[in-house]
Amino acid sequence: MKISETMIPTLREVPAEAVIASHQLMLRAGLLRKLGNGLFVYLPFGLRAFRKVENIIREEMDNIGALEFKQPVVVPGDIWKESGRWETMGAGMLKAVNRVDQELVVSPTAEEAFTATIRDELSSYKQLPIVAYQINTKYRDEIRPRYGVMRGREFTMKDAYSFHTTQESLDETYEKFAKAYRRIFKRLGLTVIPVRADSGAMGGSGSEEFMVESVIGDDTLILCPKCGYAANTEKAACAPDIACDKDGKPQVATTASIEKVSCPGVETIVQMEEFFKMPAQQFIKVLIYKAFNSELDLTNAPGCKEFKCVTDESGIPHYPESFFAVAIRGDLDVNEAKLAANLKASEVELACEDDVIKYSGAPHGFVGPVGLTKVPLIVDESVMTRNEDGTFVVHVHDAVTGGGIADVDNIHVEPGRDFTPFMTADVRTVVAGDKCPNCGAEFYSKKGNELGHIFKLGYKYTKTMNVTYLDENGKQQIPTMGCYGIGVDRALASIIEEHHDDNGIIWPMSVAPYQVAIVPVKYEGTMKVEAGKIYDALQKAGIETLLDDRSERPGVKFKDIDLLGIPVRIVVGEKNLPNVELKCRNSADMQLVPATEAAAKAAEIVKAELAKLNG
């Protein structure tokens, strides 16, 4: 392609709206333009790279036997009501009503659409397993879209879903996807960190995320330098640690009775440390949380009779709103994703002050675990753990807690003696410095962005949406499911984040919009003729080549080609002929080669780089 025949509107200045490298370079190199907040247009140069990412994903999906479908972007709201996510998906889901008053959804994800499609075609165990995928447009109404296509409102994803008769069959397909994802990211030239992850609103268990390191990452990765343990903070667990007293010794149980201490204004852990002259590890802080759409059975839970339990089209009883007290050691923080998962809730948030007082009797800062009767008490495993026989092991002793009334704290509180939890759970936020549960080494952390996520969904959607098949004995059964996603736009942006320098993009050969750029110093005379010969030879060899035929200064051309990130550059200059300059974008080295050999040499570099990425 000649530059004069395409559209590559490069920019010299960094657009003020762009704060990360990929967004800046995608705008400056003419890959895309903003049409609206969180909405982008891919221009021809950017679309070529986008399609290559898409095609690599498609090839690897086809290689493991996945079957490509094409779902509509706008789907009936009824299928979301069947799954139970019509109300629980939240404000991020864009809903619409058409002229005949049919409720519709602009797909934020495709579990419902694929489950409904397979349900209508499935009758026998002989049809399973089915592995289906699409590469399609999604829309999530992000409240604050940012970082270009890293977090836009409209985006493209590869979604895949598998349906199985047995857990063993699901496990086998899950592993195929895990290996395919590793091949995809290698071919894209991306360095990924596979981590254990929370399934979130998708549901299910057995979840792995594929992350890329990023200074603007939405996720914090918890990593072990010794055994390779890796998880995001929504899922990370750590080895138990010993709570110590003010003398640095392990805490021991007290026989002293609870005493109330007046402490007006002493609300935070830091203030408590100063007031009581005790370490935060000897405090138990209690927070009141509001949970949405909890599927826990709260029939016999303290104070839950006033919480309304409903059963909608999904057939799953749940509480649209409920409240819980969460107790955790004073030096630790509650991880809300872990809490939501343990409560089987779509999300959780800290209760407002009025609700804190309503359910605990005390304002925030003075809520305690003793005497709570209006809400179930969830106790983190840093405080106490429950054995299989129902007995407890206590880890925090002789504790200070909120007193249950304003400006009062309790001292000499013994978990198990003075309060009993409705449930114990790991809801602790793991941080760098905590110990690995596998090998005991100290964790370190990095920021990262998710590129892909694979789940074992189980029966979450097939049960609620009534998907069945007949087994070998003619008995009706429900299939189990897997779910596997990759963000195409985010993958493209992540490639640029990982592969760029001060001069512009440095494309991996597999996704470069063009593999070779020919830059005649002047597009005239002998230089034009020789550039044309090299261009024709590369085209015949099947190499994607960009010829800079513009009447621009050489410096402008070189800056543009570096900005565009074309992997191989051939400069045709009068002073070097019959030789030409050949340079790779990822190297400072330049070599002179005969013009007659330039095409063959460039093609050799292209093929070697592709073989390295695809091998």
Query: In which residue are the tokens 């009767």 written?
Result: 373
Q: Please report the pLDDT score of residue 117 as a whole number.
A: 98
Contact 307, 366 (CB under 8 A): no
Q: Are residues 182 and 134 in the same domain?
A: yes
Compute CA distances 319 → 241, 256, 295, whole Å.
35, 40, 7
Count up the domains in the chain and report the number: 3
Q: Which of 490, 524, 546 marks a domain boundary?
A: 490
Q: Are residues 332 and 391 in the same domain?
A: yes
Using a 10 angstrom Cβ sphere, with 0-12 exposed, 13-18 middle and 19 or more buried, the burial of residue 163 is: buried
User: Nearest-CA neighbor of 137 among 71, 93, 202, 201?
Assistant: 71
Over residues 354-362, mean pLDDT = 96
Q: Are residues 165 and 201 in the same domain?
A: yes
Q: Which of 425, 457, 478 marks a domain boundary?
A: 425
Give the HSE-up count for residue 95: Cα atoms under 13 Å, Cβ half-sphere.
16
Q: Are residues 84 and 224 in the same domain?
A: yes
Q: Which of 455, 490, 525 marks a domain boundary?
A: 490
Q: Are residues 228 and 325 in the same domain?
A: no
Strand partners, 205: 456
Q: Are residues 393 and 478 in the same domain?
A: no
Q: Are residues 528 and 576 in the same domain?
A: yes
Amino acid (one-letter) located at 158? K
Structure tokens at 576: 């070097």
Sign of CA dihedral 498, 502, 505, 506: negative
Q: Are residues 486 and 521 in the same domain?
A: no
For residue 23, is it within any domain? no
Sign of CA dihedral 418, 423, 425, 429: negative
For residue 413, is it within any domain? yes
What is the spatial distance between Cα 189 and Cα 494, in angstroms, rounded to a whole number?
Answer: 10
Q: Are residues 411 and 451 in the same domain?
A: no
Q: Please report the pLDDT score of residue 197 as a whole number.
A: 67
Q: Are residues 475 and 542 in the same domain?
A: no
Sign of CA dihedral 455, 459, 460, 461: positive
Q: Please report the pLDDT score of residue 29 as a whole number.
A: 97
pLDDT tens per residue, range 203-217 = 445 788 999 988 878
Contact 520, 528 (CB under 8 A): yes
- pLDDT(202) > 60: no
pLDDT tens per residue, range 314-351 = 677 889 999 999 999 999 999 999 999 999 998 999 99
For residue 504, is it within any domain? no
pLDDT tens per residue, range 413-445 = 999 999 999 999 999 999 999 999 999 999 999
**High-pLDDT (> 70) share of the chain, %:** 98
For residue 247, is it within any domain? no
For residue 33, is it within any domain? no
For residue 17, is it within any domain? no
CATH value at residue 271: 3.90.960.10
For residue 38, is it within any domain? no
For residue 5, is it within any domain? no
Q: Please report the pLDDT score of residue 315 as a whole number.
A: 72
Lowest mean pLDDT among 7-16, 43-52, 157-166: 7-16
CATH value at residue 162: 3.30.930.10
CATH value at residue 546: 3.40.50.800
In terms of phi and psi (left: phi > 0; alpha: psi -120 to 50; beta: otherwise), the region of 582 is beta
**Could you tell me the pTM of the whole model?**
0.84
Amino acid (one-letter) located at 443? F
Q: Are residues 88 and 186 in the same domain?
A: yes
Contact 282, 411 (CB under 8 A): no
Q: Are residues 232 and 277 in the same domain?
A: no
Q: Which domain holds residue 384?
A: 259-425
